[in-house]
Amino acid sequence: MIARLFARIPWTVLLPVAVILGLAPFRPEPHLVEKLRMLANGQLTAPIDIFDLFLHGAPLLLVAGKLLAGRVTPVKGK
């Protein structure tokens, strides 16, 4: 069921969104890098920072899920 949901998301939409949101804002430092650094240092405590981590990281999680779902789902016709 989840594999079918991932299959409905086209790569042409998912990849640009993941790259843009993963790297935004481009200067001075991407939010995702900043929030991951805060998480590693134990400083990720403000609700807005946690939301920001999920907002900028969600498309990358979708890319990972789509890749994993494609590897597990058998190809039809073989």
HSE (side-chain half, CA atoms, 13 Å) at 44 = 17
Give 1-55 pLDDT, tens digit per residue: 777 888 888 889 999 999 998 888 888 888 889 999 999 999 999 999 999 999 9
pLDDT of residue 5: 83
Contact 2, 50 (CB under 8 A): no
